[in-house]
């Protein structure tokens, strides 16, 4: 479906649970996700099932990011429906596994999904929700052409909503 120079994306399957758990059990990866705490394997499995059910409903959701050169699983990215302050938004979301930080994969994935959302899906606006203090993701949003729209409280967590319009 989506690919970049270095990455391909595919739908998650239950066989990917171990990889996803390796990310959700890493405190550094999870620091800026949700409440900022690691997830149990059971909760990770529930989230994986939710993302997979969205495929069946015709939505994109998060997809596994695979490095082309060696087929290594490096994270995930995709488009996620979110409700922000009563408004339905579509978020460019991405997580990169810690061994692959600092190599440009987050920016590469985010840009690809932004392009897909704006040009293939013809969406007028896309957002990224970034917890306060997450300078890495703020830099990714900037590289993705997004601007800080506002500060919000999202699911009880202070965050920034970055956006781009077609």
Tens of pLDDT, residue by residue over 21-55, are: 999 999 999 999 999 999 999 999 999 999 999 98
Q: What domains, with CATH codes, occur in the chain?
A: 7-165 (3.40.630.30)
Question: What is the value of pTM for the model shown?
Answer: 0.94
Nearest-angstrom CA–CA distance, 112 and 15: 25
DSSP for 74-104 reads: EEEEEEEEEEETTEEEEEEEEEE-GGGTTSS
Instruction: Report pLDDT digits (tens) over 87-129.
Output: 999 999 999 999 999 999 999 999 999 999 999 999 999 999 9
């Amino acid at each position: 479906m989506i690919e970049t120079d270095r990455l391909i994306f595919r739908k998650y399957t239950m066989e990917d649970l171990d990889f996803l758990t390796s990310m959700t059990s890493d405190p550094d990866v999870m620091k800026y996700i949700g409440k900022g705490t690691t997830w149990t394997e059971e909760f990770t499995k529930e989230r994986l099932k939710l993302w997979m059910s969205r495929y069946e409903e015709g939505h994109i959701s998060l997809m596994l990011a695979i490095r082309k050169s060696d087929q290594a699983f490096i994270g995930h990215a995709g488009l996620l429906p979110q409700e922000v302050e009563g408004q339905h938004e579509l978020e460019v979301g991405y997580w990169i596994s810690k061994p692959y930080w600092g190599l440009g994969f987050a920016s590469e994935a985010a840009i690809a999904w932004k392009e897909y959302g704006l040009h293939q899906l013809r969406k007028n606006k896309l957002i990224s929700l970034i917890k306060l203090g997450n300078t890495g993701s703020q830099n990714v949003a900037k590289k993705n052409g997004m601007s800080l729209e506002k500060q919000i409280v999202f699911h009880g967590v202070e965050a920034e909503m970055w956006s781009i319009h077609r």
